[in-house]
Amino acid sequence: MSESVPQRIARLRGEIERHNYQYHTLDDPLITDAEFDAMFRELQALEIQYPSLTTPDSPTQRVGAAPRLSFTKVVHRSPMLSLNNAFNEEELRAFDVRTRETLGVAEVEYSVEPKFDGLAVTLTYRDGVFVQGATRGDGEVGEDVTQNLRTVRNIPLRLDSGRLAKPIPFIEIRGEVLMFKVDFIALNRQQADKGDKLFANPRNAAAGSLRQLNSQITSSRHLSFLAYGAGGVEGFILPDTHAEQLECLQKLSIPVPQERRVVSGPDGLLAYYREIGELRNKLPYEIDGVVYKVNNISQQTRLGYVSRAPRFALAHKFPAEEALTIVLDIEVQVGRTGALTPVARLAPVFVGGVTVTNATLHNEEEMRRKDIRIGDTVSVRRAGDVIPEVARVLLERRPVDTYEFKMPQVCPVCGAHVTKQPDEAIWRCSGGLFCPAQRKQAVLHFASRRALDIEGLGEKLVDQLVAQQWVHTPADLYKLNLRALAQLERMGEKSAQNLLDAIENSKQTTLARFIYALGIRNVGEATAKELARHFATLDNFISADETRLQLVPDIGPVVAQSIATFFSEPHNIEVIAQLRATGVRWPEQAEMAVQLLPLNANIFVLTGTLASMSRDEAKSRLETLGARVTGSVSQKTDYVVAGAEAGTKLSKARELNIAVLDEQQFLQLLNKNKMPAASN
């Protein structure tokens, strides 16, 4: 009996995906490349003939689609967290002790995996079909790279639910996109042949390939995916250990690392660390350590989270790689807060996968302590993404005529005198924002991704804007015009316009980003978020004195003083006024401090689908009322809002005896606590 066209298409897709999996995930092809190509071309021909039968989960979509203009942002349903690190055995043992004590058990079982050195992504499958993929971004908001991820051959476009008791209506899978070492070498060879820029390491190559607006380019690069866990699931109950969850993902045809194990106690962890350390160079992909996770999920829940990292997991990093080279010169750089940093210029050396030509010497004291001099042979260390540093000097190789490097008495950039607080190791330029180096760094920080996120405003460009005297403060960015910009080096009219668009787009921001962007000393991203949450409006924040500032969680006298000093400088207040006048804005909760908000400090978890609003809307309505919305249910949760088809979170809430609101009760709660309209 002959097949109908839709049947034939469905069968071809199934076969192609099966062979894709055999080839890319199992590394065990069952047919020849020619046979595979023949099926693929037949499918392509049928889809061209019957365009209405083409679907996003068809393997033909793996070749990429038309270029896009930009990536849309995706708010993660639950934040993509980071991990706490251990660098030695002592820290690992301390982690195990803490874990045992918190759980009150004699021994803990851990699920252990390599720590992939790639790019974190999250994959969403609805009814088994891959519908969305996003980068980690800042952990809360990432970029929609669905089209690009479709081209990654070992990501299933459709899950194989045949081996499960029932299909999964919704699941988010988290893992890393990597470039295998062989693919990286081949890519760089190609780049060199074309005279194009080489990638520094497989991680950068993976990131550069995934964040392509043209997914056909991504498709031409050989990327791979490896999952390290489930990000959320609905309508299905996952097994109750991490290891079994990974097994379950594997059954769905999701690639998971072969090198995973289940071990017990700190000795088990250590043995695994050593095993993988020995395997490291033989693995097809780069890793920078191993990750230990408490295996039992209810124990994980009991341990919970602190700040941005789970208490139930730990990354144990491999020691940084080191190599020998010569210090050619020592220069002094001026940072955003005027700090003078000595930097060693080095004879180029290949270490940890990249060629290193500079290493930070941190500060004068550190340079003295290690006694680093021009002409010295030094061992240079590089770990992960951090700036390379000099580990030690080989004194036996020191030439006879070296001398101690003296820090300059005036700023090497603006000539202002330099000062040092008695209890500090750092010399600072006293030129403030009159110093072009500080100005430049302040502008770069303001525009950086986690601040106002002005894409395309890089170091070279800011150099020119400051040198031309067009930009003295971040507020001046909003006064730039097309004619002037287009005259700059390496700037056409088109890129000038793109930059102006990016500057314009940056005006709509959040209070937390704005506070972070100001570059107040000691106010990092997490502190800025805490301040925004606490004060709710910029004016409340500016007018708070040091005593009130210290009421904010995690803010002590040092940070409070930095903030007070920043606002006591009239110039800073003036720049803020200018920024607001040019239209930089954010949604501010009504002129009321968060402590007074009706749901202040209540922790909510949303699950299931609400008929009356999207999850994002529900989250933002709750946050407007002062509540915190988190991704997983724990003892700290106050309420779980359960929409239709709520899954494991609902059962967990029942287990822990947490108040559950259905949609109607939730709407009543919102109505009861209606807020005045938001204003800036």
Applying CB under 6 A, which residues contact ligand IVH? Answer: 81-83, 113, 115-116, 120, 136, 176, 228-229, 291, 310, 313, 315
Comparison of 36 and 225: residue with beta carbon closer to ligand IVH: 225
* Phi and psi torsions of 619, nearest 5°: -65, -45
Measured CA to CA, the distance from residue 147 to residue 124 in angstroms comes to 13
Comparison of 308 and 529: residue with beta carbon closer to ligand IVH: 308
Q: Is residue 310 within 8 Å of residue 81, measured between CB atoms?
A: yes
**636 included as an active-site residue:** no
Measured CA to CA, the distance from residue 295 to residue 242 in angstroms comes to 5
Comparison of 130 and 228: residue with beta carbon closer to ligand IVH: 228
Amino acid found at 163: R
- Report the DSSP pairing between strands 313-317 and 85-86: parallel
Helix, strand or coil for residue 515?
helix
Please name the residues in contact with 642: beta carbons below 8 A apart, sequence gap of 6 or more: 607, 608, 649, 650, 653, 660, 661, 662
Measured CA to CA, the distance from residue 253 to residue 245 in angstroms comes to 13
Comparison of 136 and 533: residue with beta carbon closer to ligand IVH: 136
Helix, strand or coil for residue 587?
coil
Measured CA to CA, the distance from residue 328 to residue 341 in angstroms comes to 17
Catalytic residue among 73, 115, 282, 674: 115
Distance in Å, CB of 48 to ligand IVH, minimum: 39
Comparison of 230 and 594: residue with beta carbon closer to ligand IVH: 230
Distance in Å, CB of 310 to ligand IVH, minimum: 4
Comparison of 12 and 603: residue with beta carbon closer to ligand IVH: 603
Measured CA to CA, the distance from residue 510 to residue 178 in angstroms comes to 32
Comparison of 271 and 433: residue with beta carbon closer to ligand IVH: 271
Distance in Å, CB of 298 to ligand IVH, minimum: 16
Comparison of 115 and 513: residue with beta carbon closer to ligand IVH: 115
- 202-210 and 181-194 are packed helices; what angle lies between their axes, rounded to 10 degrees? 70
Measured CA to CA, the distance from residue 572 to residue 559 in angstroms comes to 17
Side-chain half-sphere CA neighbours of 567 within 13 A:
16
Query: What dihedral do alpha carbons 23, 28, 33, 36 form, nearest 10°?
Result: -60
Please list, residue by residue across 523-559, b when 16 or more beta carbons sit within 10 angstroms of its beta carbon and e when fewer do. bebebbbbbbbbbbbbebbeebeeebbeebeebeeeb
Task: Evaluate the CA torsion angle 487, 490, 492, 494 in order and state its sign.
Answer: negative
Task: Give ∠ CA 369-374-378 in degrees, rounded to 5.
Answer: 65
Distance in Å, CB of 452 to ligand IVH, minimum: 24
Comparison of 292 and 427: residue with beta carbon closer to ligand IVH: 292
Distance in Å, CB of 383 to ligand IVH, minimum: 13
Distance in Å, CB of 177 to ligand IVH, minimum: 10
How many other C-beta atoms lie within 10 A of the C-beta of residue 258?
10
Please name the residues in contact with 546: beta carbons below 8 A apart, sequence gap of 6 or more: 557, 560, 561, 563, 564
List active site positions.
Answer: 115
